[in-house]
Structure 1
Amino acid sequence: MSSAKGNLGLLIGLSLIVFFTNLGGPKLWDRDEPRNAGCAVEMMEAHDWVVPRFNDELRTHKPALLYWLMISAYSMFGVNEFSARFFSAVLGTFTVLLTYDMGRRLFDRSTGLWAGICLATTLMFTVAARAATPDAPLIFFVALGMWTYVCFSFPAAGEENESATYYPKQWWQVVLLYGVFGLAVLSKGPVGLVLPTAIIGMFLLIVRLPETDPSTTWSQWALSLVRPFLPLHFLKTVWFMRPVLALTACLAVALPWYLWVAARDFRWIEGFFFEHNLNRAVTAFEGHSGPPVYYLLAICVGFFPWSVFFSPLLVDLTRQLKSDSKTRFALIFCCCWVGVWLGAFSVAQTKLPSYVTPLYPGLALLMGCFVARVISRQVALSARWFDMTFGLTTLVGVLMSIGLAVAARVYLPGEYLVPIVGVVLVIGGCLAWWWKSKSDLPKAFGAFATMATLFVVGLFALVAQRVSDHQSIDRLLTKIDQATPGASLCSFGVSEASWVYYAGQPVKFVPEGAEDLEREFSQGGNTIVLTTPEKLEELPGFVRSQLVEVAREPYFLKDYPLIALRPSPELVEVATRKAADSR
């Protein structure tokens, strides 16, 4: 077994390769990345670290911690894509290391190593660690809180401790634990406290139950499901968690900023808590809805390529939970981590794949335990399971190569190397199967891990760059600046957050109506409107005839162009006269 220092070095090196390779190469992806990065720029330029603003408007989507991190990176590296994503990659790396150490403490070093490898090479976690979004900070602080909980609550791996209470015994340990969750609340709101507390609470509700005989009938099995929630047991467990102290510690960290922003602009509190929390929970916000099984499917995609092992993992996990192994409570804890987060967001009406990424470290621990057991031949499963999983990987690679080739031909002409990431899966799946057929499981999973690394690096560092090169907003803005230096911008009928970020100025969005557009022109003749030919046709004939095209570029992933238009002096005069008459 490799040393702890060797494992840490391997995981740090892996994280640096996966998360930092060409991190600042691709442009910011609409719409969340430029909104977040642009908000940090506007706060920095205004010397205001309290009230988030974007496009010269109040931004109520997320708390301020993400913007503070970005501002810090801007001060070190300048305002660019690398700076906007820097702390996501850093926190992603630390999350991998925390996952390793939790695996080492709960199981053994081999489990921790494989858990870290799995986490670092899954699709959605890599997205979070390479994106200018609040997902990486939330995942990190949730994982840090869980690591703190494990350190203070679990006996050392392999040790039996009949007196273990599975909760911090000292008051300062509870304060530290919930202080970390306070930082999670500053990352993305109440979810940073509510769900981690629910995970720990669910685990305690299970492990604090008095032992009973195994269920032999359906009625006994049904009763065993509700036993953790019987009122007296539930209330005793809640009080055992010292809720007053826990809530006080969390609020001591998070509440000062929330009070400060409320005092400065209470609209932020209303927008964040009612629109972006309560409304997202009870309605499908911005059309992001899905069936109850949405997140099961999302995790199968987001945890790829390691999700191909979900079926044999579930078989082995069920057997372990039924046994009386020393790691049974650790497995229950990981299952609570995954199950509570998955269940909570499955009930919520607004659904996005990124919402469940904080459960990925817990799922990686389960996967790491499974892989370590397979390699050490502790798993009694038919070899056909691995024929199926490695074969499925190869099949996905074939289908992905074909799909990417077709998509590149339609949307990315000339990008013939894009399908190569699918070829990586084909080769890796075949190599893993070949080593498995030789009964060399360590080399089989080593080949699979290498394939997973090359796959995510190829997809997010290389293919993403090729796709990004087809974004033309920078070329359009350059043409505008050459034709009309210092022009102010507005948009008609279409809007993208990246226009604001790359223009370095507010871009007023005019959804419809020639009157609103003329009102923008009344501010002066040095105004440029961004729109599309289809939206241009919605304007009256006189207005269309008085708009002069300044620049034109392909609209990213659309089959029509994005055009920049300047009003004629006559149109500016008419618009100015109308504005004066209305006053």
Structure 2
Amino acid sequence: MSLAAQARGSWQRGDSVFLLLAGLWLALTAGLRPLTAPDEGRYAGVAHAMLQSGDWIVPRLDGLPFFHKPPLFYWIAGGAMRVFGVHEWAARLPSVLGAWLAAAALYAFLRRHGDARQARWSALILCTCPFFFVGAQFANLDMLVAGCISATIACAADALLRRDAGAPWRLPLAGAFSGAALGLLAKGLIGLVLPGAVIVLWALLARRGRTALRLAAWWPGWLLMLAIAGPWFVAMQLRYAQFFDYFVITQHFRRFADSGFNNQHPLWFYLPVILGLCLPWTPWLLGWLRRPAADGVTPSSDDRAVRLLMGVWLGVIVVFFSLPRSKLVGYVLPALPPLAALVAGGLARALRASDPAAQDLGETRTRRPIRALAATGGVAAVLCVAAVLVAGHVGTPPDARLRLPAGQAVAPGDRVVMLDRYYYELPFYWRLHGPVVVAGDWRPAVAQASDNWRKELADAGDFEPEARARWLQPIAAQPAQVCSGGGGTGRTWVVGPSNAQLIAPWVLGMDLVTFDSEIAVWRHDARPSDGADCLARDMTRGALPAWTGAP
């Protein structure tokens, strides 16, 4: 490595301040909006259940083992709730950290193998990209694994470039294996497979395949990865014999290859998603179409390798997630760091073309491009905040808006029943102390018919049949249990759709507590004199009045 490269890669106090400010910006609006249904409610609910039960090993959805994803998100979110309290921003902390990790990894890599301005502009573009900013404040697993994947790629590429330059490489390589281990714990095999595919393809195209092979064979790194990620997977397989088949075969390979899952989209789906949701930055990619100024600057081999890495990184992520029929917008978040770097490169080329005497982004003498750049950044920042506010308005589920009247609360020991639907957010907002009974049709033909909440709970119940029988019950069994008190305090709360009387007429015999246009809550306090038909004596107490816009 040349002295010039070492000088431009040296870390300074300003770099740390920049990354601190980036983290504060990403967390700015994390607590402003309610949880969005169903994803945020699902993952925040599993983390909240860990906190309430004290079981930090097995992720549980309504008391049942939930193995759609590994536990890293739940550990971070549950720990944040334990330290800071049960708030939306605590539930979103894993995503904020994942976004910051992605931005910091990109910044540190470009800081060492590019220059300070290139690193700073790339990170600024990334953090003010509306797609990335909203993803940083959305409580699901996509941004967390995106951060792990980004850190793994950046560390592995750094190690490879260092080794070829004769510089110390073991520490960044250990970081790459650690990042892969965290990626495995964040979302499974893609935490290892995707970074590996990016680095292998990049190394082959850059004619650095032998170096990549030597680094991949570094056995201390594999031991480190196994030490971090292995214990949880081994513990789950030892406890549940069907864990491997469900977690690896069903949730990875079948979900990737089959067509029986939700959110099916065409092959080209992610192209408009990325270009549209990353506005107003993506038009600067057109800067790559401009001929570079004849300024006498010849890119070094490292510079060419970095540009190639960003292109390969972006391409592998987009192609990989475009292949399966089931596509969610957040899947492609790991492609945004290299996209930001490429946008910064196109921006730099456009500015140089407008002023051939300029050598970099900070030396352009013409004010018009700088004003255009500042305007783009300002619009992007406004769009970031606006997108969060719009998401809060559009995505707020009815159960997040529903509050119990003053003086009423679900006490420990109360029985809670959800009618023919699982309201993911309700345990979080009601601060429930345990699982609820979900009353519905649990016949296999019905439960497995659609990829929805019913299938999630039915699949989870297969791991613990006794718990399934306790928490997944038929609707017809509820009146007798309501009248008997169902154990505990004798009080039962029933949550269901506002027209629940169509499937459960007996709710009309309970006391109506509160309701809105979509859901309602009823309560019954069992007494020793109640018979099995207590709800049939007065079928008017639970009737909903005409909806006027307020309960």
TM-score, length-scaled by structure 1:
0.72
Give the match's secondary structure for 2:343. Answer: helix
1:280-319 correspondence runs (5 A): 280-284=255-259, 286-310=261-285, 312-313=286-287, 315=289
Q: CA deviation at 1:260?
A: 1.5
Q: CA deviation at 1:194?
A: 0.6
Q: Structure 2 vs 1, CA of residues 370 and 571 (structure 1 numbering), >3 Å: closer, same or farther?
A: farther
What corresponds to 1:259 in structure 2? 234
Aligned match for 2:426, one of 499, 507, 510: 499
Matched, 1:250 2:225: yes
Q: CA deviation at 1:337?
A: 0.6
What corresponds to 2:448 in structure 1? none
Q: CA deviation at 1:443?
A: 2.1
Deviations 1:368-399 (A, max 9, x none): 2222332343799xxxxxxxxxxxxxxxxxxx
1:180-329 correspondence runs (5 A): 180-208=179-207, 239-243=213-217, 245=219, 247-284=222-259, 286-310=261-285, 312-313=286-287, 315=289, 325-326=299-300, 327-329=303-305
Q: Structure 2 vs 1, CA of residues 528 and 76 (structure 1 numbering), >3 Å: closer, same or farther?
A: closer
Give the match's secondary structure for 2:404. Answer: helix
1:82-481 correspondence runs (5 A): 82-154=89-161, 165=164, 174-208=173-207, 239-243=213-217, 245=219, 247-284=222-259, 286-310=261-285, 312-313=286-287, 315=289, 325-326=299-300, 327-377=303-353, 440-460=368-388, 462-465=389-392, 473=399, 476-479=402-405
Give the match's secondary structure for 2:279. Answer: coil
Letter in 2 for 1:49: W
Asked if structure 1 preserves the Cα contact closer than 8 Å seen for 2:498 and 2:516, the reply is no
Asked if structure 2 preserves the Cα contact closer than 8 Å seen for 1:137 and 1:187, the reply is yes
Q: Structure 2 vs 1, CA of residues 344 and 547 (structure 1 numbering), >3 Å: closer, same or farther?
A: same
Matched, 1:60 2:17: no
- Quick one: distance in 2 between partners of 1:262 and 1:153? 35
- Quick one: distance in 2 between partners of 1:90 and 1:60? 23
What corresponds to 2:522 in structure 1? 565
Q: CA deviation at 1:39?
A: 1.5
Richer in helix (by share): 1
Aligned match for 2:438, one of 496, 499, 509: 509
What corresponds to 2:545 in structure 1? none
Q: Structure 2 vs 1, CA of residues 373 and 553 (structure 1 numbering), >3 Å: closer, same or farther?
A: same
Letter in 1 for 2:520: I
Count of residues paired in the alignment: 473
Q: Structure 2 vs 1, CA of residues 75 and 474 (structure 1 numbering), >3 Å: closer, same or farther?
A: same
Q: CA deviation at 1:15?
A: 4.0
- Quick one: distance in 1 between partners of 2:82 and 2:427? 20
Q: CA deviation at 1:464?
A: 4.5
Deviations 1:106-125 (A, max 9, x none): 33222211111111011221
Give the match's secondary structure for 1:192. Answer: helix
Give the match's secondary structure for 1:200. Answer: helix
Give the match's secondary structure for 2:481. Answer: coil
Q: Structure 2 vs 1, CA of residues 293 and 573 (structure 1 numbering), >3 Å: closer, same or farther?
A: same
Q: Structure 2 vs 1, CA of residues 165 and 244 (structure 1 numbering), >3 Å: closer, same or farther?
A: closer
Q: CA deviation at 1:355?
A: 0.8
Deviations 1:487-546 (A, max 9, x none): 42222233321123223242332334999213133333332322224453245xx64654
Asked if structure 2 preserves the Cα contact closer than 8 Å seen for 1:110 and 1:372, the reply is no
Q: Structure 2 vs 1, CA of residues 149 and 167 (structure 1 numbering), >3 Å: closer, same or farther?
A: farther
Asked if structure 1 preserves the Cα contact closer than 8 Å seen for 2:270 and 2:332, the reply is yes
Q: Structure 2 vs 1, CA of residues 474 and 34 (structure 1 numbering), >3 Å: closer, same or farther?
A: closer
- Quick one: distance in 1 between partners of 2:106 and 2:409? 53
Give the match's secondary structure for 2:35. Answer: coil
- Quick one: distance in 2 between partners of 1:342 and 1:548? 53
- Quick one: distance in 2 between partners of 1:166 and 1:493? 63
Q: Could you tell me the percent identity over the aligned residues?
A: 23
Q: Structure 2 vs 1, CA of residues 490 and 314 (structure 1 numbering), >3 Å: closer, same or farther?
A: farther
- Quick one: distance in 1 between partners of 2:142 and 2:213? 31
Aligned match for 2:56, one of 19, 26, 49: 49
User: What residue ranges of structure 1 are gaps of 5+ in the alignment?
Assistant: 156-163, 210-232, 381-435, 555-560, 577-583
Q: Structure 2 vs 1, CA of residues 46 and 456 (structure 1 numbering), >3 Å: closer, same or farther?
A: same
- Quick one: distance in 2 between partners of 1:103 and 1:238? 20
Higher alpha-carbon deviation: 565-574 or 41-50: 565-574
User: What residue ranges of structure 2 are gaps of 5+ in the alignment?
Assistant: 1-7, 357-363, 444-472, 484-490, 536-551
Letter in 1 for 2:439: V
What corresponds to 1:536 in structure 2? 501
Deviations 1:98-139 (A, max 9, x none): 222222333322221111111101122112211222223212
Letter in 2 for 1:473: D
TM-score, length-scaled by structure 2:
0.75
Asked if structure 2 preserves the Cα contact closer than 8 Å seen for 1:63 and 1:186, the reply is yes
